[in-house]
Structure 1
Amino acid sequence: MASPIPDHFSPQNILLIKLRHHGDMLLTTPVINALRQRYPQANIDVLLYKETRPMLEAHPAIRQLHIIDRNWKKEGGWQKFRHEVALISAVRACHYDLVINLADQWRSAILTKLSGSPFRIGFAFHKRDSAIWRWCHNLLVSTDDHGNLHTVEQNMSALSPLGITAAGAKASMHFSAADQQKVQEILARQQVNAPYVVVQPTSRWEFKCWDDEKVAQLIDALAADGHTVVLTSAPDKKELAMIERIRSLCQSDNVVSLAGQFSLPQLAALIAKARLFIGVDSAPMHMAAALDTPCLALFGPTKLQFWRPWGDNNRIIWAGDYGPLPDPDSIDTKTHQRYLAIIPVADVVAAARSFLHD
């Protein structure tokens, strides 16, 4: 193992690698923000999956994004090989003097090694305890305490060889002026001009969702208080159908569905101006927390320690406080069971009102 990074080290070109889902990418922003603060002159690039690019594409600290498209494998062996070679060439051409690999895939480790960077930080994952993993990284950070840390703190621990701690770690979500303009136009078209509450009750996994009937009752209660509720979701057919059902169950007219109409940065622009965001364990929930919009998050059998909203303006209602939940590692993600069903409407309404009446 190489000697630690010298105190006078001042990298010019930094590459951060993370190959996960949308929410995971947002939770890498504290690392990006900390690197920008420590090395204001450095170029910071990120290697990520193509579909997660919207989470970081407007971040002002990032110079460029290197993309892995998971559809490459559908193009056949030769084409996939050409894409991989082009990616490696692009990475090597940047002459990184520091690579930080937050990912646990072999692909990320090989890319870290092939970058040619003199300093290559990775995690000492127990499942990757091998000579090849150690060969790919010359600085490995222990993961022994990761079970007790939030995902942000886990990511930030990769910076320990640089003398950077997790103290004051701040997530951020960015969008363009064009995104903001598009949202304002859509809101104006729907005649939403008063302060509004965003409710995103959907997830690609149904087990993370609350009952449609209860969501409708929550919306009616907030509407009765005079609040305009904006319903949002991904453009996925199942999520849109869920929003339609919730909308049909609402008694109030003071609710607008903009489900499926926004890109993720546009959704961020919508959430940024909301008085309150109410949602489940999902990327938009992490976006609300990063935007410092008051956030009420409903959780079921998810690892709260890892995935709770990061920030100071949040409140969690956990189904485990109302009844037994299965172990998060044992969940069949295809189940239609909604474990949040035991959360009573009254408690969510009361929590929402406590935010809205401040």
Structure 2
Amino acid sequence: MTNINQSFNRILVIKLQHHGDMLLTTPVICSLKSAYPNATIDVLLYKETLPMLEHNPFINNIFYLDRNWKHQGKFTRLKKEWELGRILKKQQYDLVVNLADQWKAAIFALVTKAQVRLGFEFEKRKNSQFWQKCHNIIVSTADHGQLHTVEQNLSILAPLNIPIISDVMMAYSEADKQWLTETIEKYHLPKNYIVIQPTSRWFFKCWDEDKMATLITKLQQNHYSVVLTSGPEAKELEMIQTILAHCPNKDVITVLAGQTSLSQLAVLIDNAGLFIGVDSVAMHMAAALKTPLVALFGPSKLEHWHPWQAVGETIWAGNYDDIPHPDHIKTDTQQRYLSAIPVDVVYNTAIRHLS
């Protein structure tokens, strides 16, 4: 592998994926900032994921691709992407770290004309000369099957010979702290409140609503205060309502589902006594913030996506029933693979981390 022993002044990190994926790129950003403390570090991402990184103190500028551009017509989309390419070229980057596998990301890396452009040797790009032209250093992905996503991302830095910082960072603002103060006062939340986020953008990753309601009721009976959160999508809010319908004491549950920004959710989780949730961006945030957590997991690839450096426990559905391999899952299935996880197991695990 090529080894680079030089300093960099202007760095661009590219990742075009979902919210959780963006959070798991922060160890790369932290490692680069530690190695090159005077460097300007920018990020290129999808617009909707910007909140995951907008308060990160190590990032100078965030540029984005807006997936809604495609709805404005092909000419408009191409024009906006061309303008973005011009802006990136003007930044005069000397290092580009492309974590993405899309052709679009590779082309933006090439457009920068950075002296060093790192890219992964993704299986689907292995025999492409153009992919190799876009990146002048290609990093192997041969061992990625055995690595967590954080470790996969960090492996792209190997040619730089820099120390690795593997902590994931979720940052929020002073305004978010003020929001939390006001929210705690409004809902009279105690210090050891529990944040429960039962939803995911993929329903096959979710537990049953009645089981979640039973868990909430048992926690309430033990005098714990529960805060329910979710994303703003209609199907997630509908799931929250179904859970509440099964809760005999729903009137004393604080429901903030669909009402928080991602950074507000972060400060809420950061100050909680416990987080309980499924495989979602909120789970990764809780792990990053070192809030004690109970993660209900399956059937995602546990080795790739388990909560990184979490304080708490992950309950794997595969320990209670046979579940299919993640590669064989249809994402639109209505099957609840977490159903096998017993309520008492989750409850007892939660109590253990609350005491």
Give the TM-score taking structure 2 as reference length.
Answer: 0.97
Equivalent position of 2:20 in the other structure: 23
Equivalent position of 1:202 in the other structure: 199
2:93 partner amino acid? Y
Alignment of 1:135-174 (within 5 A): 135-164=133-162, 166=164, 168-174=165-171
Equivalent position of 2:71 in the other structure: 74
Contact preservation (8 Å) 1:100, 1:121:
yes
**Greater mean alpha carbon deviation, residues 175-184 or residues 324-333:** 175-184
Distance 1:13 1:241 in 2: 45
Equivalent position of 1:228 in the other structure: 225
Equivalent position of 2:36 in the other structure: 39
Distance 2:241 2:180 in 1: 21
**Greater mean alpha carbon deviation, residues 30-39 or residues 250-259:** 250-259
Question: Structure 1, residues 128-171: CA drift from partner, whole Å, max 9, x if none?
Answer: 011111111111110000000000000000000111355x5100
How many residues were matched structurally?
A: 353
Equivalent position of 2:248 in the other structure: 251
Question: Structure 1, residues 36-55: CA drift from partner, whole Å, max 9, x if none?
Answer: 11111100000000000000
Equivalent position of 1:13 in the other structure: 10
Alignment of 1:1-358 (within 5 A): 4-5=3-4, 7=5, 9-129=6-126, 130-164=128-162, 166=164, 168-252=165-249, 253-357=251-355
* Shift, 1:191, TM fit: 2.2
Question: Structure 1, residues 240-287: CA drift from partner, whole Å, max 9, x if none?
Answer: 111111112112354211111101011001001001100000000000
Question: SS of 1:100's equivalent?
Answer: strand
Query: Would the alpha carbon gap of residues 165 and 321 (structure 1) be closer, same or farther in structure 2, given more than 3 Å must change?
Result: farther
Query: Would the alpha carbon gap of residues 343 and 224 (structure 1) be closer, same or farther in structure 2, given more than 3 Å must change?
Result: same
Contact preservation (8 Å) 1:49, 1:70:
yes
Distance 1:37 1:145 in 2: 25
* Shift, 1:4, TM fit: 3.4
Distance 1:92 1:243 in 2: 46
**Greater mean alpha carbon deviation, residues 16-25 or residues 123-132:** 123-132
Contact preservation (8 Å) 1:227, 1:254:
no
Consecutive unaligned residues in structure 1, runs of 5 or more: none
Contact preservation (8 Å) 2:194, 2:224:
yes
**Greater mean alpha carbon deviation, residues 246-255 or residues 141-150:** 246-255
**Greater mean alpha carbon deviation, residues 140-149 or residues 292-301:** 292-301
* Shift, 1:204, TM fit: 1.4
Contact preservation (8 Å) 1:95, 1:115:
yes
Distance 2:326 2:23 in 1: 22
Contact preservation (8 Å) 1:159, 1:165:
no
Contact preservation (8 Å) 1:203, 1:239:
yes
Contact preservation (8 Å) 1:15, 1:45:
yes
Contact preservation (8 Å) 1:12, 1:97:
yes
1:181 partner amino acid? Q
Contact preservation (8 Å) 2:284, 2:308:
yes
RMSD: 1.3
Could you tell me the percent identity over the aligned residues? 52
Distance 2:99 2:191 in 1: 42
1:199 partner amino acid? I
Distance 1:135 1:276 in 2: 48
Distance 1:177 1:335 in 2: 41
Question: SS of 1:332's equivalent?
Answer: coil
* Shift, 1:312, TM fit: 4.0
Distance 1:312 1:26 in 2: 14
* Shift, 1:195, TM fit: 2.3
Give the TM-score taking structure 1 as reference length.
Answer: 0.96
Distance 2:332 2:124 in 1: 26
**Greater mean alpha carbon deviation, residues 173-182 or residues 190-199:** 190-199
Consecutive unaligned residues in structure 2, runs of 5 or more: none
Contact preservation (8 Å) 1:194, 1:228:
no
* Shift, 1:337, TM fit: 1.1
Distance 1:164 1:149 in 2: 19
Contact preservation (8 Å) 2:119, 2:156:
yes
